[in-house]
Amino acid sequence: MSSIDKEKVIDCLNHIMEVEFSGVVRYSHYALMVFGHNRIPICSWLRSQAKESLMHADQAGEHITTLEGHPSLKIGKLLETHKHSINDILNESLEHELEGLETYKTLLKLVEGKSVYLEEYAREMIQEEEMHIAEVKKMLRAPK
C-alpha cells in the first residue's frame, strides 16, 4: 500500500462517508414525506436505501481507520427543496446517487493498480451505485 497517496485516499473516503451520511438523512426524510396509494412500498424502499447508505458510510469509515486515518463527522450537502411528489423525490435521489457514483469513481482512480482491496471495494460500490441509478431511472419512466 505504500504506492497509494494515503492522504488523498483518506480524504476521498471521508467524502464518501459524508455523501453516504447525507443519504441516510435524505432517504429517511423522504420516507416521512410520502403520501398516497403507493406510500407503503415506496417508504419501505426509501428506508432500505437509508439503511444501505449507513452501511456504506460504515464501510468507508472502516477503510479510513485501516489506513490510520480519522473518519469525518460531517454530513454531505442536504438541500430541502420542499418538493415532495414522488417524481421530485426520485429526481433528487437520482442526483444523490450520481454524486455517490462520482465519488467512488474518484476513489478508483486513486487506487487502481495500487491496492487490490481498495480497488475491489471501489469497483463493487460503483456497480451498486450504477444499479441504483438504473433502478431510479426505471421508477421515473412512465408506463407505456
Give the pLDDT confidence score for residue 78 in this predicted structure. 84
What is d(CA 30, CA 49) in angstroms, rounded to the nearest whole number?
A: 10
Cβ partners under 8 Å of residue 85, min gap 6: none
Residue 88: is its pLDDT beyond 90? yes
Structure confidence at residue 2 (pLDDT): 56
* pLDDT score recorded for residue 80: 78
Kindly indicate the confidence band of residue 1, based on its pLDDT and cuts at 50, 70 and 90: very low
Q: What is the DSSP track for the chain?
A: -TTS-HHHHHHHHHHHHHHHHHHHHHHHHHHHT--STTHHHHHHHHHHHHHHHHHHHHHHHHHHHHTT----------------SHHHHHHHHHHHHHHHHHHHHHHHHHHTTT-HHHHHHHHHHHHHHHHHHHHHHHHHSPP-
Summarize the confidence of residues 12-31 as an average pLDDT: 97
- Give the model's pLDDT for residue 125: 98
pLDDT at 71 over 60: yes
Q: What is the pLDDT of residue 42?
A: 94
Owner of C-alpha cell 455523501 = 19
Pick the closest to residue 91 from 139, 35, 143, 42 (CA basis).
Answer: 139
Domains in the chain: ranges and CATH = 6-140 (1.20.1260.10)
